[in-house]
């Protein structure tokens, strides 16, 4: 069985299969596990992500990685006035973990050689007699009977199933960060509180989180056309950040300092999403997990959790059902229902965060929880 993509979903799928004696190979385009950073914290949900980790036999190891007390949330307006302040819950059923550490746990759990690094999928072709030919940009081609697309937002496997493509949500993130012990920004860092600070207004926001090592990471969010965002020249990071800061004219200097004093490479992160409720017909020997199947905004906190759950659920069905097509059908029936609900909430929450009622709509959202 061949799996394209060494993200959390593909890794969980391979781990559960191997734990039950089923061979699995992962083809990953990146050169190694350390090619790029893996983002910030994830809250791992009891009903999805934790279920997957238990199925993978890694739950106890996961508990050694969690960061108690990292789930505190503070919502402020453009002046820095605190509107909502939720303290950390050290007994939370949705503990926080560093994405990179979680990915490393999954990678280390696999049999040596499972992941074929440096295998960027170039094309995939269905053979009339059955199975699929996979070609790679800089590696030998291969053939397989079953292909699982765990290859993210711009999946090369997805077109075998549906012509649907991710659509720009209208919101773009730009990464920001402050170094540990940054003397010029001590007041700004203190304004974060102990977890995550969310300063939001209609069409824009600044989100910052204090990491365990004292470093601050986060995002600037703007509702702008993608062309406008890409017109900013980040070849000169300082100039690019100043242009972003201009969009926050009139905001408290405690907040704009996260932008103007950022030392991160300001990568653009446009928020894309697949259509809510996306389904496809059964195609023999192929299916999708994670973002390849249900890319959504991060504002439901479900993406990584669902990816791992997809991987564990698909593995379980393949193990339990001798008929592969029956297993894939049963998996997709569950996938379509669960992902549609989560994607709908993610789209709604994106509007809550940056829509016309922000920041008060965000306060209402957290009050509900």
**Contact by Cβ (8 Å): 301, 47:** no
Burial class (CB in 10 A: 0-12, 13-18, 19+), 265: exposed
Average pLDDT over residues 54-73: 91
* Among 1-10, 171-180, 203-212, 331-340, the least confident range: 1-10
Residue 2 pLDDT more than 70?
A: no
Report the share of the chain in percent with pLDDT over 70: 97
The verdict on domain 2-67+93-166+274-354 having CATH code 3.90.1150.10 is no
* Among 98-112, 183-197, 331-345, the least confident range: 183-197
Q: 67 is written with which tokens?
A: 């960061």
Per-residue confidence band for 115, with pLDDT thresholds at 50, 70 and 90: very high
> Global pTM?
0.92
Residue 214 pLDDT more than 80?
A: no
- The domain locations on the chain are 2-67+93-166+274-354, 168-272
Residue 275 pLDDT more than 80?
A: yes
């Amino acid at each position: 069985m061949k799996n394209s993509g060494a993200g959390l979903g593909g890794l969980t799928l391979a781990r559960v299969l191997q734990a039950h004696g089923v061979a699995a190979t992962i083809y990953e385009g990146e050169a190694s596990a350390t090619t790029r950073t893996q983002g910030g914290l994830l809250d791992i949900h009891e009903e999805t992500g934790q279920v997957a980790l238990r199925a993978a036999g890694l739950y106890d190891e996961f508990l050694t990685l969690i960061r108690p007390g990292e789930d505190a949330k503070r919502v402020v307006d453009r002046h820095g006035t605190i509107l909502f302040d939720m303290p950390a819950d050290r007994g939370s059923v949705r503990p926080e973990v560093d994405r990179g550490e979680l990915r490393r746990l999954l990678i280390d759990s696999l049999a040596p050689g499972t992941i074929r690094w440096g295998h960027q999928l170039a094309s995939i072709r269905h053979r009339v007699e059955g199975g699929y030919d996979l070609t790679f940009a800089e590696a030998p081609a291969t053939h397989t009977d079953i292909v699982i697309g765990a290859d993210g937002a711009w999946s090369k496997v997805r077109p075998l199933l549906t012509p649907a493509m991710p659509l720009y949500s209208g919101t773009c993130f730009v990464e920001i960060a402050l170094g540990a012990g940054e003397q010029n920004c001590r007041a700004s860092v203190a304004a974060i509180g102990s977890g995550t600070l969310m300063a939001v207004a209609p069409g824009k926001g600044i989100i910052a989180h204090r990491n365990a090592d004292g470093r601050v990471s986060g995002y600037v969010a703007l509702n702008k056309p993608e062309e406008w965002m890409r017109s900013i020249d980040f070849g000169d990071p300082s100039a690019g950040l100043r242009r972003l800061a201009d969009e926050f004219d009139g905001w408290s200097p405690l907040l704009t300092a996260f932008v103007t004093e950022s030392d991160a490479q300001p990568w653009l992160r446009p928020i894309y999403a697949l259509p809510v409720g996306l389904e496809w017909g059964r195609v023999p020997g192929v299916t999708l997990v994670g973002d390849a199947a249900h890319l959504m905004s991060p504002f439901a906190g479900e993406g990584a959790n669902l990816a791992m759950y997809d991987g564990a659920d698909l593995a379980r069905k393949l193990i339990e059902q001798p008929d592969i097509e029956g297993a894939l059908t049963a998996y997709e029936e569950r996938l379509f229902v669960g992902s549609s609900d989560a994607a709908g909430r993610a789209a709604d929450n994106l509007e809550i965060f940056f829509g016309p009622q922000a920041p008060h709509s965000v306060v209402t959202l957290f009050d509900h929880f």
